[in-house]
């Protein structure tokens, strides 16, 4: 079984054909810059352009950087404000000319880690944090996802977690790995005090450099780098699309 996964991010829209037996991409990942401003029309048309490069009979899943409740995007932290309360499933469906599933981008990453990655077979509570433009979160218990958690917006000493410890903040503020690990450790400790997870997985492109910061984290729960890095959003979106189509 194959499906198409799309990951809408603050800086790029990415898509790939995914083999759902292995969780691997089939062929190349395609990418375009996220249009600015990232209005619904502009993002849907960028997505249409990407998806046109793949077979047209396959299910499509789209990970989006906002909570997605019944196909409606409810906030817009890193995309245009017009996405607040937008009927995303209908807009993408009309734009692409077929049914699609739309889910939160970090939930997609969590599903992918649970199916194919570092949370596979984990019986306990896993928190997946995606470190990118913002911080996305997914919570899984025994592989079952609690959708639309927004731990990146948890205030930590009065400032939203993603404004302290996202990968974007590390670059914008020129933080050393030590400084960034300290900020990230505070975020994980704040989450730990509320949820007591068995395992925390850190994803996003920066998880490629996990050896530079994971060993510096001084926190209670086990912390590991996510396995699928920035492929996870695409793979998880494709997996959900395939399940919905089955
Ligand atoms: C959004 C989340 C999203 C995360 C990562 C946050 O600002 O509120 O919904 O998962 O960024 O893209």
Q: What pLDDT, in 10s, does the model give residues 28-69? A: 999 999 999 999 999 999 999 999 989 999 999 999 999 999
Ligand 1 atom nearest to CA at 10: 12
Residue whose Cα lies nearest atom 8 of ligand 1: it is: 66
Cα of 63 vs centre of ligand 1, distance in Å, is 10
Distant-in-sequence, close-in-space partners of 95: CB < 8 Å, separation ≥ 6: 44, 45, 47, 48
Measured CA to CA, the distance from residue 128 to residue 16 in angstroms comes to 22
Say what the pLDDT of residue 165 is.
Answer: 98
pLDDT at 70: 97
Q: Please state, for a pLDDT cut of 70, what percent of the chain lies above it.
A: 100
CA of 178 to the centre of ligand 1 (A): 24
Claim: this prediction has a pTM higher than 0.85: yes
**Atom 4 of ligand 1, nearest CA residue:** 136
Residues with beta carbon inside 6 Å of ligand 1?
65-67, 75, 77-78, 104-106, 130, 132, 134, 136, 150, 152, 162
**Residue 230: what pLDDT?**
83
Give me the tens of pLDDT residue by residue for the chain, a chain 246 residues long. Answer: 999 999 999 889 999 999 999 999 999 999 999 999 999 999 999 999 999 989 999 999 999 999 999 999 999 999 999 999 999 999 999 999 999 999 999 999 999 999 999 999 999 999 999 999 999 999 999 999 999 999 999 999 999 999 999 999 999 999 999 999 999 999 999 999 999 999 999 999 999 999 999 999 999 999 999 999 889 999 999 999 999 999
What is the Cβ-side half-sphere exposure of residue 132, based on CA atoms within 13 angstroms? 25
Cα 143 to middle of ligand 1, angstroms: 21
Residue 229: predicted pLDDT: 85
Residue 64 CA to ligand 1 center (angstroms) comes to: 8
Domains for the chain: give ranges and CATH numbers: 2-105+232-245 (3.30.420.40), 118-227 (3.30.420.40)
Distance (Å) from CA 150 to ligand 1 centroid: 7
d(CA 77, CA 65): 8
Mean pLDDT, all residues of the chain = 97
């Amino acid at each position: 079984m194959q499906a198409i996964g799309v990951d809408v991010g603050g800086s790029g829209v990415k898509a790939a054909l995914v083999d759902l037996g292995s969780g691997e991409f089939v062929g190349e990942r395609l990418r375009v810059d996220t249009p600015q401003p990232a209005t619904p029309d502009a993002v849907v048309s960028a997505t249409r352009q990407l998806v046109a490069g793949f077979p047209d009979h396959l299910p499509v899943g789209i990970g989006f950087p906002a909570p997605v409740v019944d196909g409606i995007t409810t906030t817009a932290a890193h995309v245009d404000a017009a996405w607040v309360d937008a009927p995303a499933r209908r807009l993408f469906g009309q734009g692409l000319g077929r049914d699609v599933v739309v889910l939160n981008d970090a939930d997609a990453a969590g599903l992918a880690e649970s199916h194919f990655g570092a949370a596979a077979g984990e019986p306990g509570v896993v928190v997946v944090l995606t470190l990118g433009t913002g911080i996305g979160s997914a919570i899984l218990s025994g592989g079952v996802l609690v959708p639309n958690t927004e731990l990146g917006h948890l205030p930590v000493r009065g400032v939203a977690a993603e404004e302290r410890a996202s990968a974007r903040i590390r670059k914008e503020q020129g933080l050393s790995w030590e400084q960034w690990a300290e900020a990230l450790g505070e975020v994980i400790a704040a989450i730990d005090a509320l949820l007591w997870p068995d395992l925390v997985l850190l994803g996003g492109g920066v998880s490629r450099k996990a050896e530079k910061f994971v060993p510096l984290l001084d926190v209670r729960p086990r912390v590991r780098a996510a396995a699928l890095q920035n492929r996870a959003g695409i793979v998880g979106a494709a997996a959900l699309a395939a399940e919905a189509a089955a």
